[in-house]
């Protein structure tokens, strides 16, 4: 049994996380009232956490 992940799987996972991160960061920027550096930093951080959660949730409801 090989537990090594293929480069393709890593690439797919990274792409999905980046996609979630981009969408969530964009949503954050739309929903806040004033755009400044602090908001951008916080938005990027919570979007990263959200991207991990979103991928975990997506995988939990996909029977594959």
Task: Provide the binding-site residues for another protein, judged by CB under 8 A.
Answer: 27, 29-31, 33, 35
Integer Cα distance of 26 and 24 in angstroms: 5
Nearer Cβ to another protein (30/56): 30
* Nearest to another protein of 1, 30 (CB atom): 30
Nearer to another protein, 29 or 48 (CB): 29
Q: How far is the CB of 49 from another protein (least distance, A)?
A: 19
């Amino acid at each position: 049994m090989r537990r090594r992940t293929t480069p393709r799987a890593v690439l797919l996972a990274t792409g999905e996380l980046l996609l979630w991160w981009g969408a969530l960061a964009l949503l954050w920027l739309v929903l806040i009232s004033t755009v400044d550096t602090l908001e951008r930093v916080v938005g990027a951080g919570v979007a990263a956490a959200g991207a991990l959660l979103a991928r975990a949730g997506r995988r939990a409801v996909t029977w594959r």
